[in-house]
Amino acid sequence: MALSVGAIVANIYYVQPLLAAMARTFAVSASVIGLVAMLTQVGTAIGMLIFVPLGDSHERRALLSMLLSGACLALCGVATAQNLIWILIASFAVGLCGAAVHIIVPFAAQLAPENSRGRVLGTVFSGLLLGILLARTFSGVVASFFGWRAVYWIAALVMLSLMLLLRAQLPKLPRQSDLSWPALMRSLVDLVRDHPALRESAFLGAALLCVFSAFWTTLVFLLQTPPYHFGSSVAGLFGLVGAAGALCAPLVGRFADRRGPRFTILLALLTTLASFLLLGALGKMMAGLIIGVILLDVGVQSGHVANQTRIYALDANARSRLNTVYMFCYFSGGSIGSWLGALCWQYQGWAAVCAFGIAVVALALLIFVRNFKSRGALLVADSQ
């Protein structure tokens, strides 16, 4: 499962080191080409609403086969794009089919014992986060030798192979709900209304992916400026730096099991804030940039694992729908971050990108503290 979600989620993130090359291909500015990254994540968010609730009411293998077949076609569409509109539509479709990841994750939560769910989810998220981070390394290196289109041809072949593999290997489990799709969608409103923890985690997750996406969307442009003067391959190699942080996801899951997810979320927010303070002060020095990337990835992944450990404890019969609400907000935040990050870079450069990250995380911390004051002791491992 960890390998599968890593391969699928990589489709969403291949684009980030390639934006500068795509901008040259289509002769557009940084802010315009940033729409490609934004629409990929918008597609993922909408895919959350359309497909992920069906994980509670449909057989998951068939649903995954459909989404992975669609992903293969969408990736071919990106590889053959001849103009900006074409690549925007195809990128949106890539994101839409990326919802397949979030059919698999609740499946892992369903199979996991209650007292080790955080550890199991941490293991799966290690694969997911390594997919996110190593996608950049893969696409940057492949593009430097064969061009950015080759990245998407290879990815399409991987999706076709993965569809056949998962169809053969995943167990067939009974449906968890008999609700129709419209009834499932109406039930999302009830879940949001009934669970304050879901509302809080959805907002905090959106804030974390917002600043994460803003950083990774603009990193390739930073590395092309003084004092770096690097290309897409070096931008991709920074995924290896972040991957070191992703390896601690199982440890974060165990920590969330012991100390409670809210305490882990607080540490994640503080770590992410520290990363942007460091990146703002020392981001134009290689050592400062590397340390900042590690802190950022550790903070964002820790918050994500803790948030999902928290929401999956709310209702065992609605995990796909809980995941739908959370991930819709999560990728909505990511799409906004991709767009605003590119705008910040175009108008005020690296300082504006870092200031944006600091402001968003500071707002998330203020809301977290306000909720803490209204609910009681911070260190209690609450599920609500």
pLDDT digits (tens, 9 = 90+) for 368-379: 988 876 654 444
Res 162: pLDDT: 92
pLDDT tens digits, one per residue of 282-333: 999 999 999 999 889 889 888 888 898 888 788 877 777 888 889 889 988 9
Do the Cβ atoms of 213 and 338 come closer than 8 Å? yes
Question: What CA–CA distance (Å, rounded) separates 106 from 310?
Answer: 13
Closest CA to 162 of 376, 318, 9, 52: 9
Total Cβ atoms within 10 A of residue 365: 17
Single pTM value for the model? 0.77
Is there a contact between 37 and 158 (Cβ–Cβ < 8 Å)? no
pLDDT score at 200: 93
The pLDDT, as a whole number, for residue 377 is 43
Query: Which of 72-81, 115-124, 222-231 has the weakest average pLDDT?
Result: 115-124
Strand intervals (E) in the chain: none
The DSSP secondary-structure symbol of 231 reads -
Q: Is the pLDDT at 73 greater than 90, yes or no?
A: yes
Confidence of residue 254 (pLDDT cuts 50, 70, 90): low
Mean pLDDT calculated for residue range 11-25: 90
Mean pLDDT value of segment 217-245: 79
Q: Are 354 and 280 within 8 A, CB to CB?
A: yes
State which amino acid sits at residue 126. Answer: S
pLDDT 10s digits, 153-201: 999 999 999 999 988 887 776 666 666 778 878 888 889 999 999 999 9
| Whether the predicted pLDDT of 206 surpasses 60 | yes
Q: Are 97 and 71 spatial neighbours (Cβ–Cβ below 8 Å)?
A: yes
3-state DSSP of the chain: CHHHHHHHHHHHHCCHHHHHHHHHHHCCCHHHHHHHHHHHHHHHHHHHHHHHHHHHCCCHHHHHHHHHHHHHHHHHHHHCCCCHHHHHHHHHHHHHHHHHHHHHHHHHHHHCCHHHHHHHHHHHHHHHHHHHHHHHHHHHHHHHHHCHHHHHHHHHHHHHHHHHHHHHHCCCCCCCCCCCHHHHHHHHHHHHHHCHHHHHHHHHHHHHHHHHHHHHHHHHHHCCCCCCCCCHHHHHHHHHHHHHHHCCHHHHHHHHHHHCHHHHHHHHHHHHHHHHHHHHHHCCCHHHHHHHHHHHHHHHHHHHHHHHHHHHCCCCCCHHHHHHHHHHHHHHHHHHHHHHHHHHHHHHCHHHHHHHHHHHHHHHHHHHHHHHHHHCCCCCCCCC
The whole-angstrom separation of Cα 355 and Cα 113 is: 42
Take residue 103 and report the two structure tokens written for it. 């059919």
Residues 6+ apart with CB under 8 A from 375: 196, 382, 384
Domains (range + CATH), the chain: 2-375 (1.20.1250.20)
Q: How far is CA 130 from the centre of its chain?
A: 11
Read out DSSP for 113-133?
-GGGHHHHHHHHHHHHHHHHH
What angle, 0 to 180 degrees and rounded to 10, lies between the N-to-C axes of helices 196-222 and 261-282? 20
Q: Would you tell me how many other CB atoms lie within 10 Å of the CB of residue 195?
A: 21
Spatial CA neighbour of 280 closest among 266, 296, 268: 296
